[in-house]
Amino acid sequence: MQGRLGLVFGWLKSRPELASPSPYDGPRPRSHGLLGIAVVLVLGGTAKVAQASPQNVLGFGPRASALGSTGAASAEGADAVYANPALLSASRETQLQLGFEGAVFSFRAEGAAAPAPGQGLPFRASTIGAVLPLPFGGWLRDRIALGLGFVTPTDVVVRARILYPERVQFPLADRVQSVAVQAGLGMAIGHGLRVGGGVSALAALKGSVLVRTDASGRVGTEVEDTLVASYAPTLGISWESRRSEYRVGLTFRGTLIGRFNVVIQAENLGSLTIPPLNVSGVAQYDPWQLAWEVARIAGPFRAALGVTYAHSSGYPGPAEATVRCSDAPAPAPECQAPAARASGYRSVVAPRFGVERRIDIGSATVLALRGGYAFEPSAAPEQTGDGNAFDMNRSVFSLGWGVRLGSLPLSLDGFTQFHVLHERDHRKSLAEGAPVEGLARTSGHVLAAGIAVTARL
């Protein structure tokens, strides 16, 4: 797509009368700023195709991130708004959590068929979490709580770029480059049963660019664009033993797609006819997921063990057709631009576990030491042709700590993650049935860390 659009904009630059400003009489563009966003999203910057939100890669909340991104049965406080909204109902205090997290990416590609790789953009984001128990009386007393969660990168709302397939790409670095918003409501039913639901949101862009000639023969543009949100549901349920020592949790997260679509149309350009051009694709994609977990939630030693199924085979791929056929019953095949290639992604199952040791260090102050591990299989296919969107299996090792101050209604939590990107061989051939042209071997690592302070009221 980038190549086709480059030809269009290159042609416009080669026509000075088309590239100059237009004084035509008519409605003025509503927003050149959002057009700039659209250009950055699709053509500019250094980012590549993004395929998931930051909480899918790093987890949400410092405690959950330190415990191998577990939480369907073990989440506490604001972490539960993503991990399992049913567990919000276990909170008895109003909480406000403010934090900061970041990650750096390092990738390697070796072999005769491996192009020179580029480093992924670093990730830096502020995080906000909140829990508000609702003050109902009677049977509803201490049973319902509302939760909110935000991950806000410091320099983008959402970032995406569609490159030629032969350009080297490591999509993992761009899977965190978006704002993530979550809200949830949890309710304790009784007899150890809790239920909850919520919604997650990602940014999306819709718009149009109209290129036309005014009465003086000069060409200008009229821009209409809107930054909107896409939504997906989150549902959770949990059950804990009579003594509240053990808990089982199940969380469903719906498919969350952040699309961009800017339609470029040209009118009254004389003998020149340009079909509508669709600058469109998928900026962010979270497949629907099902997370199951069992956890020990009482005592000084706590642990969680679970698996997450991600239906990644539903990923449509980053690019959509630039030129499209009409909705006629039998459109002519020549009106359709070459269709974007299928993603070839597969669904995966990721096991994960976390452990926590709580130590009473006096004056009602409690220190928590945490660790965890998760194995995240790659959903992307081996890059055997001219494609170079490299992805690898990941082993995620995590460590963390937490201090709850007895004399103050405050707690501090931090985490560190080290992602090992396992070596993967990509046997390259230029055409189906052709002999292998070379071997690309990819690997790398990711280092992430975060810290947050929580106030309890």
What CATH number did the domain enclosing 364 receive?
Answer: 2.40.160.60
- Report d(CA 232, CA 202) in Å as an integer: 9
Per the model's pLDDT, the better-predicted residue between 322 and 117 turns out to be 322
Q: Is the pLDDT of residue 29 over 60?
A: no
Q: How far apart are CA 122 and CA 322, in angstroms?
A: 30
Higher local confidence (pLDDT), 225 or 7: 225
Q: Tell me what the pLDDT averaged over the chain comes to.
A: 80
Q: Which pLDDT does position 298 carry in this prediction?
A: 92
Cα separation, 115 vs 388, in Å, equals 8
If you average pLDDT over residues 275-296, what whole number do you get? Answer: 87
Cα of 219 vs its chain's centroid, Å: 39
Closest to 58 (Cα-Cα) out of 391, 303, 417:
417
SS3 string, 202-240, reads EEEEEEEEEEEECCCCCEEEEEEEEEEEEEEEEEEEEEE
* pLDDT value for 434: 53
The answer to whether the predicted template modeling score (pTM) of the entire model surpasses 0.85 is no
The sign of the CA dihedral 428, 429, 431, 435 is negative
Answer with the residue of higher pLDDT: 182 or 230: 182
- Residue of 33 and 218 predicted with greater confidence: 218
Token digits for 145? 């709580």
Question: pLDDT tens for residues 399-417?
Answer: 999 999 877 899 999 999 9
Please give the pLDDT value at position 131. Answer: 97
For the stretch 92-145, pLDDT in tens is 899 999 999 999 998 888 875 555 555 567 889 999 999 999 999 888 888 999
**pLDDT at residue number 450:** 96
Mean pLDDT lowest for which of 26-40, 43-57, 72-86, 235-249?
26-40
For the chain, the domain total comes to 1
343 vs 252, more confident:
252
Question: Which of 32-36, 100-104, 155-159, 173-177 holds the top average pLDDT?
Answer: 100-104
Query: Which helix (H) or strand (E) covers residue 6, if one does?
Result: helix 2-13
| Range(s) of the domain holding residue 279 | 2-456
Q: What is the pLDDT of residue 43?
A: 35
